Chains A and B, each alone.
Chain A
Amino acid sequence: MNTDWAEVYRSSYQEVVRFLHRKVWDEDRARDLAQESFARALESDPDDPRAWVFRVAANLARDEVRLVVRRKRHLSLLKVEASAAGTSAPTPDRELEQKEAEARVREALDSLGERDRELLLLWDGGLTYDEIASRVGLARGAVGTTLARAKQRLVDAHDALEDKDAALG
């Protein structure tokens, strides 16, 4: 009964946005979902408020991703039309590079197993091993090993993509 949600919000907001962004890949949506996560979390008084918020965020992101996948089927047609009409704005080189780098990381993350990905994002979000363990359903003792492996997989997957891109010129 003593959760100081304002404090949890202040100290974890950025991490939650970061976490959500890697799931929905849209900054504005990530911020909006982060707010929504906290708004929903306020309704509870969990033992571990920060882990709880991440949990709510993960659920919202899951629903969101499903929704987006369904919408994409409709939108892909519209997108083709738009680019054919030349309406997309020209992108400066640096921005393009950043976009490519982000796309590679995204692809590398997507190539990982669901649990590895979740583990990495929660680790990056600053959660403790206990919190991570309860989120992904591992024993705490297994978190370190799984994490070490997942990180290596991410790095390897990314480097392989980079090599491929370089080869393609």
Chain B
Amino acid sequence: MQHLDDGYLQSWLDRDRSGITPAEAEDVEAHVARCEVCRARLAALEASSERARSLLAVAAPSREAAPDFAEVVRRARRRLSPGRAGRGWVAAGWAASLVAAVGLGWLSHGLLGPGVEAPPVAVDLPAEQAEPDREAVAAAEFTPADTPAMARARATEPGDAQDPPADTADIADPAPGIAIAPTTFSDVPAVAEAEEARPPLFVQGRVRSGDGTPLAFAQVSIPGTGIGTLTQADGSFALRLPTDAVTASVDKPLTLSARQLGYESETLPLVPAGGDTVSVDFQLSGHALALDEARVAGAPMAARARTARVREAWVPADREHAESEAGFVLGIVPDLPVLEIELGGAAGAVAIRVRQALDSGATLTLVQWSADGPALDPVLPSGQPAATARTRGLVIAGSAPISPDSLTALLARVR
């Protein structure tokens, strides 16, 4: 008999958060029930999990109550005070959203409805791509600050030398477009500079479409490092790769990827050529499905709002509250127990997510929103059949680990 590997067993032990599907979990259970070797292995893994957990608990701090959330908001405000981040439009946007959010108890923007300004998209990179600290934030502001780092990058400028003339002809002055994250570690002692044996690496280049048009607001990032930025109006970008990342890249080669709505993402190797600056140019081919939408919009932000992605930040709600926030009566499959009702939203529209238990013990997830409002991408659990239905002015997207036909039949029963 083929035995289960440790990873699979471990996923089963952590089944509430490992993403193992109910069907896979059942497989594990059935196998372990009849296989003594795997049963013993599972017990050993469970024991080492317990040991590890208790060891880590030894090193845990005492559970003091969390300070009031208002304290966090105050801190965030201090960070936004003039002189720190008060120069760019991004900062202004944050400040506005902070004020709005503080006044209303920091409720989520989507739930507040269309009256509340959303923060700018510039800081809205996917989690795996953006570095949520000062460096990236500074980069996202597009401030062409003339820092020493900037001066160094300019001094070399290999990117411009290699650019085909035809492509750069329409760009009047590429230099001001390059934004390099200023290194403002004011709280790090001056020794820091002297101790950095390996200099940081600067990465710069341009992102263009297949026909050579510069792509603005494309996301450029170094996967696995949390370093990323957005391109300028002329498609140019510049990133600073800190010392430790440069050192680490000796063991694990780095790549650079560029993504833009409506285009195929591209990932290229990041190969330091000896100097302190690397040039990487991207040419993204249009994505067959989304190309028209992205082109028509002109501004990527507008295109983005067209099919807003429901964010994975759902708020548990009781049915009455959910329905009054959403403005529609929740659709459910009659006779199936309701496990959970949650509110979420995007682009000013409110969606309700409801989970219902199927007879098999599996879960049916339904995300629904008003068909009159903006189209939403419901972000359903991946790896299982999904389907969409319309009933009484609602769009209902459903997903469950059952056959597509059964799922469609279930959705047809939603009332």
Contact = CB atoms under 8 A, between A and B. Distances in A.
Contacts of A155: 48, 51-52, 55
Contacts of B56: 22, 105, 120-121, 124, 154
A155 B111 CA distance: 46
A47 B127 contact: yes
Interface string B312-330: 1101000000000000000
Interface stretch (B61-69, B172-180, B207-215, B393-401): B61-69
Most buried by B among A3, A4, A35, A130: A4
Contact of B123 (A10, A43, A67, A146): A43
Contacts of A41: 132
Contact of A4 (B8, B94, B224, B315): B315
A155 B107 CA distance: 43
Contacts of A63: 185, 188
A56 B133 CA distance: 7
Contact of A21 (B59, B75, B137, B189): B59
Interface residues of B, number: 77
Contacts of A121: 56
A7 to B, nearest CB: 7
B7 interface: yes
Interface residues of A, number: 77
A97 to B, nearest CB: 11
A8 B6 CA distance: 32
A42 B132 contact: no
B409 interface: no
B71 to A, nearest CB: 7
B412 to A, nearest CB: 30
B110 A154 contact: no
Nearest to A55: B132
A134 interface: yes
Contacts, number: 211
A97 B156 CA distance: 58
A110 to B, nearest CB: 11
A46 B110 contact: no
Q: Is the interface of A mostly helix, strand, loop or mixed?
A: helix
Interface in B47-61: 48-49, 51-53, 55-56, 58-61
B62 A22 contact: no
B348 to A, nearest CB: 8
Contact of A9 (B72, B80, B108, B131): B72
A49 B313 contact: yes
Interface of B: 5-11, 14, 17-19, 45, 48-49, 51-53, 55-56, 58-64, 66-67, 69, 71-73, 75-76, 79-80, 94, 98, 101, 105-111, 118-119, 123-124, 126-128, 130-133, 137, 185, 187-189, 191-192, 195, 223-224, 226, 309, 311-313, 315, 344-347
Given A46-B126, A56-B132, A143-B11, 6 more contacts: A3-B313, A5-B69, A14-B63, A59-B131, A106-B59, A147-B7
Enumerate the 8 nearest inter-chain pairs by beta-carbon distance, A residue then B residue, closest first: A2-B110, A145-B7, A2-B108, A144-B7, A39-B75, A144-B10, A1-B109, A13-B66
